[in-house]
């Protein structure tokens, strides 16, 4: 039985729905050579009787995610969905299953008619999926959406991204939801731990490891790129928001300013050292290990 658990990040307010998968060379978000386990993290934000779910997880975890949600959300309570990468299975696979079970009142999207993007089944006979109300998020690098009448979250164009990606900042919990970034902490055991606390040691995050992780996963293209605008955009997020927790879409969650400082510093170092002013750009063939 694969690990499945709920981690409370902020009392009564922010929960991580964590479900493990094996790293076996068949996970696109991790290096081909990575072995062990990681988790996909969907995050539930709650306020004033309303909830917002960031990402919906893989189909392989559908049963667990529905159970996890069921333990946190009343079936009739209004629930918003917010896939951070609408073209990726981890973000959208369970959207319809959740909408069939819970009172999904809207789905945030940068495209209209979101149900046309997330319907992966052919229904038979009289079966019909719910029509989701699409709430279009504003264009531009920064906007806000309401979790409840009294609580908004910041929506950011991910400052470093492979494809369409949003980061979310929740000021109430001082948490940055970073989607595919800061996701490089995996484990040998499927039961984690999947939260690194204030006083826990991060033995992994250093220049060489993060450099290798980025180049061997979704950020294979950054070596020799013009990374100055990306560094500036990442630094802007760090400077503008009071981040105490980093909550990635995959892997270990990081709690505490010390971890936050380290993650941003190492990322900046990597981007600085791989900038085209230091490294000449070159073709990167598929499967090149660096």
Partner 1 sequence: MDIENPLPREIARGVFWLGDCLEQFHKGKSYHSYNAAFLLCGDDASMLIETGHPKDFPAIERQMIELLTADRPPLKYLFVTHQETPHSGGLGRVFQNWPDITVHGDVADYHLAFPQHADRLVSMEVGDEIDLGGRKLVAVEPVIRDLRTTLWGFDTGANCLFPGDGLAYSHYHQDGHCGLVAEEATSLDLEDVLAVFAERALYWTTTTDMRIYVDQLEALLDELGVETIAPTHGLPVTDLALTMPKVRDGLIAEGDPELSVRHISNVDQPEVT
| Residues in 106-125 that interact with partner 1 by CB under 8 A | 110-111, 113, 116-122
Closest distance of CB 113 from partner 1, Å: 8
Segment interacting with partner 1 (CB under 8 A) among 7-15, 71-79, 161-169, 193-201? 161-169
Toward partner 1, which CB reaches closer, 60 or 172? 60
Residue 277 found at the interface with partner 1 (CB under 8 A): no
Give yes or no for a contact between 56 and 79, defined as CB atoms under 8 angstroms apart: no
Classify burial at 224, counting beta carbons within 10 Å of its beta carbon; exposed 0-12, middle 13-18, buried 19 or more.
Answer: middle
By CB under 8 A, residue 226 contacts partner 1: yes
Q: Does the protein bind partner 1 through residue 164 (CB under 8 A)?
A: yes
Residues in the chain: 290
Find where tokens 């230091």 sit: 278
Among 49, 198, 206, 221, binds partner 1 (CB under 8 A): 221
When asked if residue 145 is in the footprint of partner 1 (CB under 8 A), the reply is no
Query: 219 vs 264, which CB is nearer to partner 1?
Result: 219
**Cα four-point dihedral sign 103, 51, 158, 196:** negative
220: preceding bond cis by omega (within 30 degrees): no
Rounded Cα distance between 284 and 97, Å, is 39
Stretch that binds partner 1, among 68-76, 84-92, 186-194, 240-248 (CB under 8 A): 84-92
CA distance 133 to 157: 22
DSSP state of 112: S
CB closer to partner 1 out of 142 and 152: 142
**Structure tokens of 105?**
């009142």
- Helix, strand, coil: what percent of the chain each, to 5? 25, 30, 45
In sequence order, the 6+-apart residues with CB closer than 8 A to the CB of 78 are 49, 50, 51, 103, 105
Q: Which of 80, 93, 175, 178 binds partner 1 (CB under 8 A)?
A: 93
SS3 127: coil
The reply to whether 136 sits near partner 1 by the rule CB under 8 A is: no
- Among 15, 58, 182, 186, indicate the residue that binds partner 1 (CB under 8 A): 58
Q: Give the C-alpha separation, 89 to 97, whole Å.
A: 13
Nearest distance, CB of residue 256 and partner 1, angstroms? 30
| 128 binding partner 1? (CB under 8 A) | no
3-state secondary structure of 120: coil
Return the number of the residue (166 or 255) whose C-beta is nearest partner 1. 166
Contacting range for partner 1; rule: CB under 8 A; set: 69-77, 99-107, 167-175, 281-289: 281-289
Q: How far is the CB of 285 from partner 1 (least distance, A)?
A: 6
Task: Pick the closest to residue 19 from 7, 29, 10, 11 (CA basis).
Answer: 7
Say whether residue 155 binds partner 1 (CB under 8 A). no
Binding residues vs partner 1 (CB under 8 A):
21, 25-28, 32, 58-61, 86-90, 92-93, 110-111, 113, 116-122, 139-141, 157, 161-164, 166, 216-218, 220-222, 224-227, 229-230, 276, 281-283, 285-287
């Amino acid at each position: 039985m694969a690990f499945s658990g709920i981690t409370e990040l902020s009392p009564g307010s922010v929960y991580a729905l964590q479900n493990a998968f094996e790293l076996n060379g068949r996970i696109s978000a991790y290096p081909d050579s990575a072995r062990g386990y990681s988790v996909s993290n969907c995050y539930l934000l709650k306020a004033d009787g309303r909830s917002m779910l960031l990402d919906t997880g893989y189909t392989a975890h559908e049963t667990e995610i529905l159970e996890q949600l069921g333990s946190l959300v009343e079936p009739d309570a209004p629930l918003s969905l917010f896939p951070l990468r609408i073209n990726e299975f981890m973000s959208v696979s369970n959207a319809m299953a959740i909408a069939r079970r819970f009172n999904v009142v809207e789905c945030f999207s940068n495209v209209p008619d979101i149900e046309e993007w997330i319907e992966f089944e052919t229904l038979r006979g009289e079966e019909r999926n719910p029509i989701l109300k699409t709430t279009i998020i504003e264009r531009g690098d920064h906007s806000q959406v309401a979790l409840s009448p009294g609580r908004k979250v910041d929506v950011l164009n991910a400052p470093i991204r492979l494809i369409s990606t949003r980061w979310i900042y929740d000021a109430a919990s001082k948490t940055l939801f970073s989607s595919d970034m800061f996701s490089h902490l995996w484990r040998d055991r499927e039961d984690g731990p999947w939260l690194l606390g204030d006083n826990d040691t991060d033995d992994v995050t250093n220049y060489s490891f993060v450099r290798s992780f980025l180049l061997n996963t979704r950020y294979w293209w950054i070596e020799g790129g013009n990374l100055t605008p990306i560094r500036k955009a990442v630094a802007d997020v760090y400077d503008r928001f009071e981040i105490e927790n980093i909550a990635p879409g995959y892997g270990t969650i990081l709690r505490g300013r010390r971890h936050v400082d380290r993650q941003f510093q190492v990322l900046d170092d990597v981007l600085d050292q791989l900038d085209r002013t230091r490294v000449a750009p070159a073709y990167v063939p598929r499967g090149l290990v660096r």
